[in-house]
Structure 1
Amino acid sequence: MLFDSELHLSGMSGTLDHVMLRVEDLDESLDWYTTHLDYEEKGRWEAETFTNVYLGPEDLHEDGAVLELTYNHGDHTYEMGDAWGHIAVRVPEGELEDAYQQLMDEGVEDYRDPESCGGRYAFVKDPDGHEVEIVQRNQGATWSLDHTMIRVEDADQALGFWTRKFEYEHTGRWESDTFANYFMKPKDAAEEAMAVELTYNYDGRTYEMGDAWGHLAVRADDLDDYWESLMEREAEDYRDPASCDDRYAFTKDPDGHEIEILPSDFESPE
């Protein structure tokens, strides 16, 4: 992943690289993720007005995603909104109850236990209120990022965006009486790669973006070529590479979720 040359291997262009959350107390958030999810620091970017810290499990897969915590220096508070849903982390099949109980024993708040979720998953919250789902998977490191859920107002439009702009395809779907979930990844992505989960509620509701969530980041083999393809496919020209010192770029999905494009060899500035 970012800042570590040993992790810049042959990840497929378009793989999700990280998800960014904003936090109000960096030390408290770092302590929560390193203590309860056994995350370690993968990289850090200290700027004049903010700090970014990248976290993940010790044995993170080469195509696995990391968590970016952004701390803006000074006294800042954030609105959660409801356009972003949650991040999901993995535990092995059959270990959900034990993993959740471990978190409870460590003092994590009891938000949605496995029993209330039909024994299939569970939820906790981090110190800033970001929801963290615990899912059962036999691939990827324990606690590694499985997916990031975002809410969309038009499922057809959102699915078209990810398939046409980014060449993602379905890796799973779940349709119920009131909502549908669609999981998307690049074609032939590793099982250990993070997916984006598109949640569509059938009742026509709208969402507030808030500012407690930042963006998803997609890894590109070549930033300029990838950006050119996005522009040819009529993605939003939000922040082009030139406006970002040719180091990264940003587009947005139809619902306004920001998506950063990073070159695979991205490194933090000195």
Structure 2
Amino acid sequence: MDGTLDHTMIRVSDLEESLDWYQTHLEYEEKDRFEGDGFTIVYLGPEEMHEEGAMLEITHNEGEDVEIGDAWGHIAVRVPEDELEDYYQQLMDEGVEDYRDPESCGGRYAFVKDPDGHEIEIVQRDPDEGALWSLDHTMIRVEDADEALGYWTRKFEYESTRRWEADTFANYFVEPEDAAPEAMSLELTYNYDGRTYEQENGWGHLCIRVDNLQEDWETLLEREAPEYRDPESNDNMYAFTKAQDGHEIELIERDLEADSLFPF
């Protein structure tokens, strides 16, 4: 199983407004688009993104208003080391909502929000670890840290690469073994107070690349992953399982040389 995190999908209320926001402020370009019956899917990413880098998928369903639930955390994007203040100020000058500035975050990171309220963390990374504004990690909240870590290590053979344990919460980062520096990782956030979370429609899914959709799907079933939407029900183009907290995970075979990013 490849295991590379291929993209993160979020839903947006106004497609053109969101496209303009990401293309203007994060300098993303449209990688591909699919127009369906009542919905549109657009893949976005930096112009010079690495082949192991993850894309952002935004989905717009006609007539649907987006609600941001607390099970969904944020995406994080990269800027060069020691340039956090400069890029944050650039966003402020462009009219981006002032949410959590670098000073309030100890000078280590910052947060802004997109038009629907999706949180975007800005983190400092070595330029060799990915293009400017490329996706660094996706954060989701989990209700049981042991179960979440066990799920990702057993089902997808991910490894825990780093952690941060504070007085009231802990962050665990997981990714495939030998992941490229440019690849996106997954951040699992666990709050110690036993709270539960709501999955609203603003949060979509994570997508993982597999080597062979049918064979890897069968392997996941052997490892007792939930059978949510199997390959056959999706014309053998992709499949979906769920993590222990209900977070949806898409599986896809990715031909990086294909004319279209969509397997249709």
With the length of structure 2 as denominator, give the TM-score of the two structures. 0.96
- Correspondence for 2:262: 268
Report the AA paired with residue 47 of structure 1. Answer: G
1-structure distance, mates of 2:143, 2:136: 23
Structure 1 position 225, deviation (Å) = 1.1
Deviations 1:10-43 (A, max 9, x none): xx71100000010111000000000000000111
8 A contact 1:88–1:135 mirrored in 2: yes
2-structure distance, mates of 1:269, 1:202: 41
Report the AA paired with residue 227 of structure 1. Answer: W
> Aligned pair count?
258
Deviations 1:213-258 (A, max 9, x none): 1000000111011101100100000000001110000000010000
Identical-pair percentage: 72
Where has structure 1 moved over 4 Å in runs of 4 or more? none
1-structure distance, mates of 2:28, 2:4: 21
Report the AA paired with residue 107 of structure 1. Answer: G
Structure 1 position 268, deviation (Å) = 2.6
Structure 1 position 170, deviation (Å) = 1.2
Verify: 1:245 aligned to 2:235, yes or no. yes
Alignment of 1:193-204 (within 5 A): 193-204=183-194
- Correspondence for 1:76: 64
- Correspondence for 2:18: 29
Which runs of no fewer than 5 residues in structure 2 stay unpaired?
A: none
Q: Paired residue for 1:145, among 116, 135, 138?
A: 135
Q: Paired residue for 1:161, among 139, 146, 151?
A: 151
2-structure distance, mates of 1:164, 1:240: 19
Deviations 1:112-166 (A, max 9, x none): 0000000000000000000000000111001000000000000000000000000
- Correspondence for 2:110: 122
Structure 1 position 267, deviation (Å) = 4.4
8 A contact 1:170–1:184 mirrored in 2: yes
2-structure distance, mates of 1:193, 1:69: 19
Counterpart of 2:217 in 1: which secondary structure? helix
1-structure distance, mates of 2:80, 2:5: 22
Residues 252 and 178 (structure 1), Cα distance of their counterparts in 2 relative to 1, 3 Å cut: same
1-structure distance, mates of 2:263, 2:150: 35
Structure 1 position 269, deviation (Å) = 5.9
Counterpart of 1:181 in 2: which secondary structure? strand
Alignment of 1:143-222 (within 5 A): 143-222=133-212
2-structure distance, mates of 1:31, 1:252: 31
Counterpart of 2:137 in 1: which secondary structure? strand
2-structure distance, mates of 1:52, 1:86: 19
- Correspondence for 1:112: 100
Report the AA paired with residue 99 of structure 1. Answer: Y
Counterpart of 2:19 in 1: which secondary structure? helix
Report the AA paired with residue 82 of structure 1. Answer: D
- Correspondence for 1:256: 246
- Correspondence for 1:8: none
Verify: 1:51 aligned to 2:40, yes or no. yes
8 A contact 1:222–1:264 mirrored in 2: no
8 A contact 1:13–1:219 mirrored in 2: yes
1-structure distance, mates of 2:121, 2:81: 14
8 A contact 1:169–1:186 mirrored in 2: yes
Deviations 1:160-199 (A, max 9, x none): 0000000000121111111100001000010110011000
Structure 1 position 264, deviation (Å) = 1.7
Report the AA paired with residue 205 of structure 1. Answer: R
Which runs of no fewer than 5 residues in structure 1 stay unpaired?
A: 1-11
